[in-house]
């Protein structure tokens, strides 16, 4: 990539590097002054990091390609020789080429001074596109959520029918309200049971000098079975307006207001139960956004600055009312001794940088090549996060990390060498910013095959700064499909979740995390609930993740976070992890590696029906088009996209990767023909246009499919899937999104 003549004026030359003016001005004018960092010295030191780390970044990507080529050749030779698959021979081959590494001796991570939200609390975790200010604020504020709103406004409780003699109050259904109250009271009986009776029969809550008193309808005055579950209150002892409790480390509030329409329905006057919900949030610079040029990157960094300085706001229009959304203040209470104390009003925020693959035109080298975007993110997001460590008057009490840490999630790492590289990069950034060693804490996304099969070695490389490991089923599947592309045809996509490798993958992540001492120091996480409108199903199924020992699991919305928080009251993750750790054995852990390397091939004796094949093609194609057209035309990196059955699913690049690689695999091995796929693309383009017809910003693909950039991008992702680096979709998406932006800019200038 070279700067064209028209674009040269948009760059500033510094020490043989060209820095895009928007980035240069943003850093110099908005970031550095409040940190008392001199601009010229900062840029010289920052650019030295690019000079040092760019060559190794390039070399690590070359290693990926070299390993992939060797694996392809091995599978081709096996198929050519008609050899039955030999798992032990395959494992030895992967060891010989350096794909599998020797595991280190047993160790325990030494990460220190970690915030309680990560080290000691278990709860929901939000992942949100930082490029969207409204979503970023919603996620940061999702630390506390209304259980009543979450139950009333979703399918968590089956919709009731208003009887003929009932009149809704301004759209409020009293019958449904009663069901919500009953559900919440059952939760209270589970989380803070009474010595006698039930919260269902409570008519009043008061406070004595020593404890919370619960007055029942039969005249009995009882107390909590665990008196220490009561923490504090707002209001007076005789008429508290808010009561604060704790269970399994998570707080929740009872709001009492007998004048409120819901409080009027409850004999005790409870108008809401507010749960501590999204304990942590990942503000995402990666898979869920579409940042393809320096203007996009600056917008992302500005939002991160707004969160770290506390000034980020967004005007929101909801149900005809306009208001300003901003970061929530802390919550204040009194204890029974009259002492004031506070709890944070916000989720603890991680920042997810990009991986090693992509580059950014925000800075160009002396050869006019874009720099590695992951290095840029490490420098810029850490620089901005310095505001959270400073006593800056713009921040006030809106602190993120009480321990003064910077929490960076690093995705898409392939094996321990790339983890080591990332740790060394963070060390260099700490030196640049004059930070103590290991201030930058690292989260590892265990979502690539070479990381999952070498997880112990990866954890070892980050043992002094690790605070997070997390499975990612979709990316892990996408990498499985690409890595094993030449091995044969894979099972249908819907069957992947029952495959031996996936079951081992999810169990091994927890087992290895516990063996390496993450309990009490770091999160062990699980993946996303993808259907935000299906909360009843989530309440039934997602409890499996805390039961498996995961201390956090991803949710798609603040509402989902509030409902998923119920699972962490039902399950003590600390107790689960202790029980699982006691069951671990070295032999059992070593057995996981072979299962992780089991390739999910279709049984050679199995014949898929024409209907099965057609459904698989249509399902994949519709998902690809539905996501790509919004990414390319609208710059939306993550959204709820209707699937082929019109069920809204949260889609990001991980879902695109698996769908495109799966079709590519079936094309390669003759399960489907190119003409079948093209016919499905044409047919599904009409479906996607219909599904988006109500969106005024949507541009239909229509009949000009040959010239539609979004449609052609989908075609490239499928038909050129084997040529995409590790099956990633970013290179094509970025290039074609830039093309659309250039067209739009040209049209605006006419």
**Can 340 be counted among the known catalytic residues?**
no
Task: Compute CA distances 660 → 472, 653, 726, 731, whole Å.
Answer: 17, 10, 12, 14
Q: Which residue has the tokens 């004026």?
A: 9
Q: How far apart are the first and last CA of the chain?
A: 26
283, two tokens:
């503000």
> Cα-flanking dihedrals φ and ψ of residue 256, to 5°?
-115, 120
Catalytic site residue from 346, 449, 652, 657: 652
Q: Strand (E) positions, 327-476?
A: 331-334, 340-343, 348-352, 359-364, 370-372, 406-410, 440-446, 466-471
Catalytic site residue from 352, 449, 450, 593: 352
Distance CA(439)–CA(217), nearest Å, equals: 54
Is the distance from CB of 266 to CB of 205 less than 8 angstroms?
no
Is the distance from CB of 742 to CB of 292 less than 8 angstroms?
no
**Can 325 be counted among the known catalytic residues?**
no
What is the DSSP track for 179-225?
A: HHHHHHHHHHHHHS-BSSS-GGGEEEEEE-SSSEEEEETTS-EEEBS
DSSP strand pairing (240-247 vs 230-235): antiparallel
141, two tokens:
């504020």
- Inter-helix orientation angle 294-309/133-140, to 10°: 30
DSSP strand pairing (221-223 vs 212-216): antiparallel
Q: What are the residue ranges of helices labelled H in 433-471?
A: 449-452, 455-461
DSSP type of residue 115:
-
Instruction: Output the CA torsion 659→661→666→670 (10° steps).
Output: 140
Distance CA(730)–CA(714), nearest Å, equals: 12
Catalytic residues: 352, 652
């Amino acid at each position: 990539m070279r700067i064209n003549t028209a674009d040269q004026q948009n760059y500033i030359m510094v020490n043989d590097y060209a820095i895009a003016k928007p980035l240069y001005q943003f850093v110099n004018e908005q970031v550095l002054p409040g940190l008392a960092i001199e601009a010229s010295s900062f840029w010289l030191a920052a650019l030295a990091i690019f000079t040092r780390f760019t060559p190794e970044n390039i070399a690590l990507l070359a290693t990926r390609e070299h390993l992939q080529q060797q694996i392809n050749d091995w599978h081709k030779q096996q198929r050519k020789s008609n050899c039955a698959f030999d798992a032990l021979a395959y494992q030895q081959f992967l060891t010989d080429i350096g794909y599998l590494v020797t595991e280190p001796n047993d160790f325990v991570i030494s990460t220190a001074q970690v915030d309680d939200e990560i080290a000691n609390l278990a709860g929901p975790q939000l992942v949100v596109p930082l490029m969207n200010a409204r979503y970023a604020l919603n996620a940061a504020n999702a630390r506390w959520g209304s259980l009543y709103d979450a139950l009333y406004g979703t399918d968590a409780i089956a919709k009731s029918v208003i009887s003929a003699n009932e009149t809704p109050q301004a759209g409020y259904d009293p019958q449904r309200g009663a069901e919500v109250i009953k559900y919440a009271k059952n939760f209270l009986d589970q989380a803070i049971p009474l010595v006698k009776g039930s919260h269902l029969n409570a008519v009043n809550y008061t406070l004595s000098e020593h404890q919370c008193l619960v007055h029942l309808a039969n005249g009995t005055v009882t107390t909590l079975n665990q008196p220490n579950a009561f923490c504090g209150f707002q209001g007076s002892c005789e008429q508290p307006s808010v009561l604060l409790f704790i269970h399994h480390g998570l707080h929740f509030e009872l709001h009492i207001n007998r004048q409120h329409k819901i409080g009027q329905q409850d004999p005790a006057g409870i108008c809401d139960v507010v749960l501590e919900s999204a304990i942590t949030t990942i503000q995402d610079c990666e898979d869920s956004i579409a940042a393809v040029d320096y203007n996009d990157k600056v917008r992302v960094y500005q939002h991160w600055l707004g969160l770290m300085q506390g000034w980020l706001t967004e005007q929101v229009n909801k149900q005809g009312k306009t208001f300003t959304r901003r970061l929530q203040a802390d919550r204040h209470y009194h204890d029974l001794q009259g002492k004031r104390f506070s709890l944070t009003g916000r989720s603890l925020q991680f920042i997810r940088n990009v991986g090693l693959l992509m580059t950014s035109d925000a800075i160009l080298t002396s050869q006019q090549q874009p720099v590695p975007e992951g290095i840029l993110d490490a420098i810029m997001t850490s620089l901005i996060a310095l505001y959270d460590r400073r006593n800056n008057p713009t921040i006030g009490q809106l602190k993120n990390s009480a321990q003064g840490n910077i929490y960076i999630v690093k995705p898409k790492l392939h094996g321990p060498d790339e983890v080591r590289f990332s740790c060394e990069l963070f060390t260099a950034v700490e030196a640049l910013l004059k930070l103590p060693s290991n201030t930058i804490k690292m989260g590892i996304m265990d979502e690539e095959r070479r990381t999952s099969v070498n997880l112990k070695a990866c954890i070892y490389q980050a043992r002094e700064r690790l605070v997070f490991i997390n499975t990612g089923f979709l990316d892990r599947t996408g990498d499985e499909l690409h890595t094993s592309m030449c091995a044969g045809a894979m099972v249908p996509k819907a069957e992947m979740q029952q495959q031996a490798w996936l079951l081992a993958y999810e169990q091994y992540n927890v087992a290895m995390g516990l063996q390496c001492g993450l309990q009490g120091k770091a999160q062990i996480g699980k993946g996303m609930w993808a259907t935000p409108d299906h909360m009843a199903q989530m309440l039934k199924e997602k409890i499996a993740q805390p039961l498996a020992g995961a201390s956090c699991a991803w949710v798609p919305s603040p509402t989902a976070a509030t409902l998923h928080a119920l699972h962490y009251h039902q399950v003590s993750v600390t107790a689960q992890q202790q029980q699982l750790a006691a069951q671990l054995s070295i032999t059992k852990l070593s057995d996981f590696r072979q299962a992780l390397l089991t390739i999910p091939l279709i049984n050679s004796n199995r014949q898929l029906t024409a209907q099965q094949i057609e459904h698989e093609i249509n399902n994949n194609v519709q998902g690809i088009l539905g996501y790509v057209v919004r990414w390319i035309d609208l710059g939306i990196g993550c959204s709820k996209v209707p699937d082929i059955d019109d069920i809204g699913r949260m889609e990001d690049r991980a879902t695109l990767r698996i769908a495109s690689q799966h079709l590519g695999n079936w094309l390669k091995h003759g399960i489907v023909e190119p003409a079948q796929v093209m016919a499905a693309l044409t047919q599904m383009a009409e479906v996607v246009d219909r599904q988006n017809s109500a969106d005024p910003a949507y541009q239909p693909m229509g009949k000009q499919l040959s010239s539609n950039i979004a449609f052609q991008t989908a075609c490239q992702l499928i038909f050129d899937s084997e040529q995409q680096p590790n099956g990633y979709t970013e290179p094509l998406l970025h290039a074609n999104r830039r093309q659309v932006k250039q067209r739009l800019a040209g049209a605006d200038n006419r």
